[in-house]
Amino acid sequence: TRSILIAIDGPAASGKGTLARRLADYFHLPHLDTGLTYRAVAHALISHGLPLDNVSAAETAARQVDLSRLDKHALSAHAVGDAASRVAVFPSVRKILVDKQRAFAATPPGAVLDGRDIGTVVCPDADVKLYVTASAAVRAGRRLRDIESRGGTADFGEILADIERRDARDTGRADSPLRPAADAHLLDTSEMSIETAFLAAKALIDEAL
Ligand code: C5P
């Protein structure tokens, strides 16, 4: 049987990660959250007290990224996501990480990858591409509930401003900006539950396979 490749892109807190995990479970495919690879680079620089624009240190950290050892928990902080979007602007860092992501995708039986540039750059030949969005206010609300459910506190206005700043950085960069591939299916989850979004995505994938 041939490999199946599912590409899922979208902005921060759009629900693409949750959706990618559920689809990977359902279709029995390995899942790679490519955001974690950029987060791992940012985290390495922060832990060494290095500035986020130290490109050669970022390249070294990128080479050291091991896809089988990404520590989701250590990398989950909101601030690490913001730092990740700063190192993600460097083409040399992206190239190192994209090569690893492509190797993961090329391994049978295929995979579900989620990120910002999967359908456009990492896996332009994916069998199915989904572009998951939701309004910035809905995404900020989800992120806030997320933080609160883990016992933290945060301010809605600050989170919304963070999300809008990250959107601007991710859509505005020169190399691999966030945008839907021409052949991506758009899925606006603003008014959808996770279950509804999953069923909609599953239907699109069933149709394409
Ligand atoms: O998805 P997540 O919020 O973990 O991603 C963190 C940051 O990493 C994003 O804001 C983006 O700048 C960068 N990223 C990227 N390309 C990907 C995945 C993430 O540039 N494929």
71-109, pLDDT tens digit by residue? 999 999 888 999 999 999 999 999 999 999 999 999 999
Mean predicted confidence (pLDDT) in 118-133: 98
On whether the CB atoms of residues 9 and 116 are closer than 8 A, the answer is yes
On whether the CB atoms of residues 144 and 163 are closer than 8 A, the answer is no
| 50-72 residue pLDDT tens | 999 999 999 999 999 999 999 99
State which ligand 1 atom lies nearest to the alpha carbon of 12.
3
Mean predicted confidence (pLDDT) in 146-150: 91
Residue 41 pLDDT > 70? yes
11 among the known binding-site residues? yes
Q: What percent of the chain has pLDDT over 70?
A: 100
The answer to whether the Cα torsion of 45, 51, 52, 58 is positive or negative is negative
pLDDT in the model for residue 2: 77
Residue 159 pLDDT > 80? yes
pLDDT in the model for residue 1: 61
pLDDT in the model for residue 73: 92
Determine the distance separating the centroid of ligand 1 and the alpha carbon of 173, expressed in angstroms: 12
Within 6 A (CB) of ligand 1 lie 12, 34-35, 38-39, 81, 84-85, 88, 115-117, 166, 170
pLDDT in the model for residue 78: 83
Burial track 75-89 (b if 16+ CB lie within 10 A, e otherwise): beebebbbbbbbbbb
176 among the known binding-site residues? no
pLDDT in the model for residue 77: 87
Whether the complex's predicted ipTM surpasses the cut of 0.90: yes
Q: What mean pLDDT, rounded, does the chain reach? A: 96
pLDDT in the model for residue 202: 97
